[in-house]
Amino acid sequence: MSFSLRLATLMLVAVSAGAVLAQSAVSVAAPGSGQAADERERIGVERKAEEVRYSARRAQCYQRFAVDDCLNAESRLHRETLDGLKRREAVLNDAERRQRGEDALRRIQDKQANPPARDLPQERDRNRQAQQDREQRNADHAASRAATAAQASQRRQQFEDRQKAQAEKAAERAQRRTQDAAERERYERRQVDAEQRRTDAQRRNAARTKPPAAPLPDPAAKP
């Protein structure tokens, strides 16, 4: 497959994936939900993966005949991919701001609709127990989120390490191919130069060892 066809395929895949993921971000649930957190994590992973892929694609461009055209195309695709990720982040940020405003309004309405109960001993005990229960639930949720975040961070690091290793190997292979091609060219040039020197030496030797031509007969001489 030619480079142009591969590049067109990459651009089509990137645009399609960006459209699907952007639609996912638009339809995300409340910002405090797991969906929003997962989407934000996916954006971070995709951004780092794009940086790794971009580095590998730039290395491959140096193996092309039209290096500048390849680099410009990859830079344009890179910008479009990052712009798509920024748009998805903007959708999430807008949803979070809207949700915070709704939460603040709901708290105000709840306070207005439910005035504080009388401060009776039994009521204080119930409130204290309810507060302890809420704190315990919050602590449990925080521990669960921390464990989930740690696992996600570990998976993300493993993914990034694999992507980085693949990019480094691709760059090394590209560099070796470039060096091999240059070495072959130098070797062939030396061979041509050596052959030319041998030819020149043989020509000079032949000129030195060639016997002189016999003199022409004297026209005045009689037989």
Gap between the Cα atoms of 139 and 142, Å rounded: 5
pLDDT value of residue 210 = 67
Q: Is the pLDDT of residue 52 over 90?
A: yes
Structure tokens of 127?
A: 């409130």
pTM, whole model, 2 decimals? 0.37
pLDDT in tens, 112-157: 887 665 557 787 888 888 999 999 999 998 988 888 988 898 899 9
Q: Is the pLDDT of residue 13 over 70?
A: no
pLDDT value of residue 2 = 43
Gap between the Cα atoms of 118 and 222, Å rounded: 160
Place 24 in a pLDDT band, splitting at 50, 70 and 90. Answer: very low
Domains of the chain, residue spans = 1-111+152-180
Q: What percentage of residues in the chain have a pLDDT greater than 70?
A: 76
Lowest average pLDDT, out of 25-34, 45-54, 140-149, 151-160, goes to 25-34
Q: How far is CA 93 from CA 25, 83, 100, 107, 203, in A?
A: 10, 15, 11, 21, 82
The owner of tokens 């925080």 is 142
Q: Is the pLDDT of residue 14 over 60?
A: no
